[in-house]
Structures are given as structure tokens and as C-alpha cells.
Amino acid sequence: MSVALAIVGASVLGTWGIATIALIVSGIVLLVAPGDAETTSSGVAVGIFLLVAGLISGGLMQVVAMPLMGLDPPLPIKAKSIIPHEKMKEWARAGALRDFPDGIATEVRLRSLRVAIVRQGEELHAMNALCTHARLPLGSFPGAPIKPEPVRDGCVMCPFHGARFEVSNGKAVRQPFASEFNANHPFLGTLQSKLFFWNMGAEDIQTYPVRVENDEVLVGLPR
């Protein structure tokens, strides 16, 4: 995806997302406090209308608009689809070791797979580049204002909603929308948690065996 397209897509989705949240929140407010006795029934009706419109808008955004922009629908990736390393026998070249900055998840495409290479000095790990919560890229989008987070305490953090995964084994050690993440990210955390009320969890993520040969990074893939 080009930088310009990523910026346009993020702007459209951001605006759409805020409008959707506004519809849902207004609908809930009207349902909870519909007004005085004379206007109660019309307040409730408008509240239901806004709530339904917001839910339809959110559904369309996530299942129709996002795929049209080249994004995966924001569905969770289940841990039961994880393939064990013993079955990763096809070694693919990911690039030269110097191409991978230290401490940041860097995405490469190997065959049809999106793989994040995480380098920590001489130590390398590889995992699915898409977060298991809503399939957004752990390394963010090129040129996007949301930047990839540096690896801390052996974990990579999804920059979108804050899920954390151990780089060595893919274990999900923090769920999306954790209170400390929300406190520091009012839009990506607190606001978006309202939009993602139907999908709040992150399961363990697929990892891949990785090795270095002649300064070249090789990743083991399934056949």
C-alpha cells in the first residue's frame, strides 16, 4: 500500500469511526435519558434509530469498507490455527540482516504470508505480522501516524489497541484495551473499545522458526 493511500484510508476510516461512535453514544444517551414525560416516546424512538444506524455503520465499515481498502476484516485470528514449528520445513529468504532495525517489528511478505521479523541484537524472532485481535499490522502502515512500538521486556505491542505478545513464543500476555493503554490512548483505546465491543480479545499469535545464514535472514514456513 502506498503512503498516500494509507493516509487517505486512515483519514476515511478515522472519520467514519468517530461518526459511528457518535451515533452509538447518542443513541444510548437518548435511551437512558429520553427527556420529560411528553417527549419520552419520541426520545426512545430516536435513540433506537441512532443506535441501529450506528451499529449498521460500524458493521459496514469493518466488513465492507476495510476490505475494499486492502485491509483484512477486523476479525480475530484464533490460536487453534497455530501451526507447530516442526511443520515449518520450507525456508524462505526474508532479507539481509542489516535490513531489520533493532527492536522494531518489520513486516515482510513471504509467499502469501505477512511475517513480522523482530530483531534484538543478534537474536531474531518471526511472527504473524497481523495482530490476532483485529488483523491490524504489528508494524503499522507505511507513513501512518501510528508508529510501531519498540519491543519491551521481550514483548511486541500492537500499536492499535495495545495487545502484547511474547516474541519468543507468541503468547498473548496483555489483552487489547487494557486500562493502562486506554489511559494513554483516548482515541485508539477508550473510544475504539466502544466500537470493538463485539471483539475485545487477543489470542496467542503464530510464530515461525528463523535463522541467519551468511548475514541473510531465513524463515521457516509451512509447506
Q: 122 and 106 in contact (C-beta within 8 Å)?
A: no
CA distances from 77 to 72, 85, 101, 134, 202 (A): 11, 18, 27, 8, 8
Residue from 136, 151, 218, 221 touching ligand FES (CB under 6 A): that is: 136
Residue from 94, 151, 158, 221 touching ligand FES (CB under 6 A): that is: 158
Instruction: Say if strands 113-120 and 155-157 run parallel, antiparallel, or are unpaired.
Output: unpaired
The nearest distance, CB 34 to ligand FES, in angstroms, is 34
Distance CA 217, CA 92 (A): 8
Q: 88 and 36 in contact (C-beta within 8 Å)?
A: no
Q: Which is nearer to ligand FES, 50 or 205 (CB)?
A: 205
Block residue for cell numbers 449498521: 56
Q: 205 and 173 in contact (C-beta within 8 Å)?
A: no
Contact status: 160 vs ligand FES (CB under 6 A): yes
Contact status: 165 vs ligand FES (CB under 6 A): no
Q: Give me the phi and psi of 140, to 5 degrees please.
A: 60, -170
Q: Give me the phi and psi of 39, to 5 degrees please.
A: -105, 5
Cell numbers of 9, please?
484510508
Q: What is the DSSP letter of 120?
A: E
Q: Which among 11-19, 75-83, 132-140, 210-218 is the span making contact with ligand FES, rule CB under 6 A?
A: 132-140
The nearest distance, CB 176 to ligand FES, in angstroms, is 4
Q: Which is nearer to ligand FES, 179 or 214 (CB)?
A: 179
Q: Which among 38-46, 104-112, 117-125, 161-169 is the span making contact with ligand FES, rule CB under 6 A?
A: 161-169
Residue from 27, 148, 170, 176 touching ligand FES (CB under 6 A): that is: 176
The nearest distance, CB 188 to ligand FES, in angstroms, is 9
Q: 44 and 169 in contact (C-beta within 8 Å)?
A: no
Contact status: 164 vs ligand FES (CB under 6 A): no
Residue from 30, 163, 218, 221 touching ligand FES (CB under 6 A): that is: 163
Which residues contribute to the site for ligand FES (CB under 6 A)? 131, 133-134, 136, 158, 160-163, 176, 202
